[in-house]
Amino acid sequence: MGKPTGFLEINREELVDELPLDRVQHWNEFHKPMAKKAIQCQAARCMDCGVPFCHTGANLPSGASGCPVYNLIPDWNDMLYKGQWQKAFKLLMKTNNFPEFTGRVCPAPCEGACVLGIHEPPVTIKNHEYFIIEHAFEQGWITPNAPNTRTGKKVAIIGSGPAGLAAADELNQMGHSVTVYERADRAGGLLMYGIPNMKLDKQKIVDRRLQLLQDEGIEIKTSTEIGKDVSIAELQKTYDAIVIAIGSTTPRDLPVEGRGLEGVHFAMDYLTQTTKSLLNFNHDDNNYINAKGKNVVVIGGGDTGTDCVATALRQGCKSVKQLEIMPMPPETRADNNPWPEYPKIYKLDYGQQEAKAKQGVDPRAYEVMTKRFLGQDELEGVVATQIEWIKHEGRFVPQEVPGTEQIIEAELVFLAMGFTGPEQAVLKQASINLSEQGNIEANYGDFTTNVPGIFAAGDCRRGQSLVVWAINEGRAVAQKCNSYLI
């Protein structure tokens, strides 16, 4: 490494963000730029650790450990420290098709597996990825790179999320003619409508990459739903292979009394409508779920729950609470969560930071279960109770704590409890076999479905996961699809 003692001399320095009470007044990204010298200084903290767990991409029982796309992290950190930005960029692009996305929205399992993180704050790997790719765009190093020759083979990609786009990018560079089908009016999948604009700018960042892919020869057809507008049989006649990358978009419901009241919505409907209105009309159409002046309850944690909290605050909600059924995480790693697993510790994400700044407290309440919704036609409140986790027949189950039932005033509730699998209409039309969990049955590493010539990748195959795992599967399914074609 360029500075073997850097980790002993330099403290971790985070990005400086716009203040929470300022940034909730707009829908733009709020990270402030860091000076190049400061980034190089942070890169000097990367140790000559011998075995860099950060880029191993291990899939442990507790989740991902290290980078799922196997980014060459120590290598490009070394280049950053030496000021060799273009070499750092070339190394980054060897493993990741879209570092501008992961540098913004990835929870950074690489940092959880950083060797320095055993006893000190880990290296700011995610920030380095973000700055490398943005510097490359600024310098004009990224230009359309269409393949010189074509194989004559045609591939259809169903779904334009990160898995579908990564597969399309790889297959296009291999010389195949690729068409991506997206049922929404804009391409990008969850990158476009599942993640709010202040977290990932659509027109500056997502559209920039989509235009580059199209300039390289990829055809993207939006507002086209496979199974309705175009049948699977038609695709099979037209294309030599098909890759299904439709994501895991069936939301987990909460079938309790009052579920049908006006004001109870799935989180993704809320986020999608809000972003679509922002992009099309700057919210002047009022054709979206508006939390202005309302008491909001978000049921469920995770990124989607956080995004709902942040969105409601920007709309001017009266209050926002977030109910989580799981216990509050510890301040430091628990004994059953050792390094290099992803650290499951208490932290304030951007939405909770904003809520705390506005309301004075973290909006989350832990070990709380929703029993029913109150109201006549419209939602008026949530009946919830504290629970404790009791071990029963070898597993932990929730049990109500007597005397803790409470009524939480609410005019809006957003269900952010995750997703149960892909929507199945198109899969049934294609006679695709499903696993017991409801995902497409196709082994990781092979990605082949029971129908010859049809492959599957991303959340529709593995279940709800990270953007970086979707990119991993998109890259890998392209290799298998290519082998089939040639």
Q: What is the pLDDT of residues 356-389, one digit of tens each?
A: 999 999 999 999 999 999 999 999 999 999 999 9
71-127 pLDDT, tens digit each: 999 999 999 999 999 999 999 999 999 999 999 999 999 999 999 999 999 999 999
Per-residue pLDDT, 161: 98
Average pLDDT over residues 161-176: 98
Distance between CA atoms of residues 315 and 47, nearest Å: 44
| Helical ranges in 119-231 per DSSP H | 125-139, 162-173, 207-215
pTM (two decimals): 0.96
Helices 125-139 & 36-43 angle (0-180, nearest 10): 140
pLDDT of residue 64 exceeding 80:
no
Answer yes or no: are the C-beta atoms of 296 and 259 closer than 8 Å. Answer: no
Domains of the chain: 6-139 (1.10.1060.10), 154-249+420-485 (3.50.50.60), 253-417 (3.50.50.60)
- What's the confidence (pLDDT) of residue 323? 98
**Mean pLDDT across 8-30:** 97
Give yes or no for residue 62 having a pLDDT over 90: no
**pLDDT band, very low/low/confident/very high, at 63 (cuts 50, 70, 90):** confident
Within 10 Å of residue 465's Cβ, how many Cβ atoms? 19
Of 450, 445, 457, 430, nearest to 168 by C-alpha is 457
DSSP assignments along 142-168, one per residue: ------SS--S-EEEEE--SHHHHHHH
- In 10 A of CB 219, how many CB atoms? 16
Tokens 């005033």 -> residue: 409
